[in-house]
Amino acid sequence: MFPLLEIVKEHDRERKDQKSFSEIYIELIASIKAQHVFVDLPLYLKETGSMQKEVFMFSRGIIADPERRTQHLLMLKDLNSKIIPVVSSYIIKTGEQGTLGRQVMELRSNFQIICFRTYVTTFENEIDEIEKSISSEDFLILDLDSLPPYPTSPVLRKIVQRFINITSQNKIVLRSAINTDIQNVTLEHGGIIYEADNSLIETYKRFGAIAFGDYVGVKKDDLTAGGTISPGFIYYDAEENQYYGFKGDIKSLSEFERTIVPDVIASEATHRMQISPLDYLSIENNGWETLNQISQGIESGKSQAKFKKIAMEHYLHCMRMKINAGQL
């Protein structure tokens, strides 16, 4: 597993003794145990009035400028044996063409491997330039955004045919399984989330890819400011490759402890994973262990952010079990 780190702010948070961009992210990336970390300053961000101010400023001031974006990636070159910088065409951001070659030329002397990230909406306009710049060691990500992950669909068929024939062997398909329209308040408590589609783990090889990316089983964040208390939890059932939704009865953080955790632990999805030979709910599953700690009153569960972490840790453990079993 290689994480894809999308940097969307100059600083992780405001501090009195503010560290520099390079200090913050070199320290963070160095702490990650994976052999490699993809690092992207994502061009797909849509600047809106509801976007967090610090994200908007970084997107407008750094990401939107090809030279400044590349300079920020070069600030991380001290970890060049671990970091794989991600480049994308500025067609998606500004409409400017021919920007990939310049980015690659500046990064290539400092990073052994580069990752190209292309989008369905821009693929045909940039694939020729990608093929001119990509090496056999580089990676290529096809970002499906919210499109269903079926390579034979009319909208994808032509793109997939070209994608399969690209000489790079390190091809990845990326898509969030959780639709951004899914809201905690609309979840059916204990019910299947039919709008969630995790079939990419079954179809990625049909794209000619060696791997897939899926935002670790949580919803892709719109990075908007503010928000209200809305206790909800999206729980991955690794046996069915399906998601189940749980939500509180009232808008109170106490609902995580009173309603959501007991019902998740008692659910049929939990029972299926407990009896699975793949040991999905072992003590090595940090998310599952946190749920039990909350259930026993050892740890507080009054935090929406904590439940996003639980969901990610549980999902990652399940993927690891599938990998170890040869299913992926």
Establish if 205 belongs to a structural domain: no
Q: Are residues 186 and 307 in the same domain?
A: yes
Give the residue numbers spanning the domain of 241. 178-196+222-328
Establish if 281 belongs to a structural domain: yes
Establish if 208 belongs to a structural domain: no
3-state secondary structure 21-44: HHHHHHHHHHHCCCCCEEEECCCC
Establish if 203 belongs to a structural domain: no
Which pLDDT belongs to residue 227?
Answer: 66
Q: Are residues 147 and 185 in the same domain?
A: no
Establish if 213 belongs to a structural domain: no
Which pLDDT belongs to residue 46?
Answer: 86
Q: Are residues 70 and 190 in the same domain?
A: no
Q: Are residues 185 and 160 in the same domain?
A: no
Q: Are residues 253 and 126 in the same domain?
A: no
Establish if 190 belongs to a structural domain: yes
| DSSP tag of 224 | B
Q: Catalogue the long-range contacts made by 163-167 (C-beta closer than 8 Å, 24 or more residues apart).
A: 163/123, 163/207, 163/208, 164/207, 164/208, 165/208, 166/127, 166/130, 166/131, 166/134, 166/140, 166/208, 167/131, 167/134, 167/136
Alpha carbon of residue 310 to chain centroid: 15
Residue 95, sorted as left (phi over 0), alpha (psi -120 to 50) or beta, turns out to be: left
- 232 vs 186: CA distance, rounded Å: 10
Q: Are residues 119 and 250 in the same domain?
A: no
Q: How many domains, in total, are found in the chain?
A: 2
Q: Are residues 266 and 147 in the same domain?
A: no
- 170 vs 21: CA distance, rounded Å: 29
Q: Are residues 170 and 182 in the same domain?
A: no
The span from the first CA to the last CA of the chain, in angstroms, equals 11
Which pLDDT belongs to residue 64?
Answer: 94
Q: Are residues 164 and 182 in the same domain?
A: no
Q: Are residues 150 and 61 in the same domain?
A: yes
Which pLDDT belongs to residue 211?
Answer: 96
3-state secondary structure 225-239: CCCCCCCEEEEEECC
Task: Give me the tens of pLDDT residue by residue for the chain, a chain 328 residues long.
Answer: 999 999 999 987 777 788 999 999 999 999 999 999 999 999 998 888 888 899 999 999 999 999 999 999 999 999 999 999 999 999 988 888 889 999 999 999 999 999 999 999 999 999 999 999 999 999 999 999 989 999 999 999 999 999 998 878 899 999 999 988 888 888 999 999 999 999 999 999 999 999 999 999 888 777 776 667 889 999 999 999 999 999 999 999 999 999 999 999 999 999 999 999 999 999 999 999 999 999 999 999 999 999 999 999 999 999 999 999 999 8
Boundary-marking domain end, from 146, 175, 204: 175
- 276 vs 268: CA distance, rounded Å: 12
Establish if 131 belongs to a structural domain: yes
- 111 vs 97: CA distance, rounded Å: 23
Establish if 201 belongs to a structural domain: no
If you write DSSP's letter for every residue of 248-312 in order, what string do you get? -SSS-THHIIIIIHHHHHTSHHHHHHHS-TT-TTSTT-HHHHHHHHHHTTSS----HHHHHHHHH
Q: Are residues 121 and 242 in the same domain?
A: no
Q: Are residues 182 and 160 in the same domain?
A: no
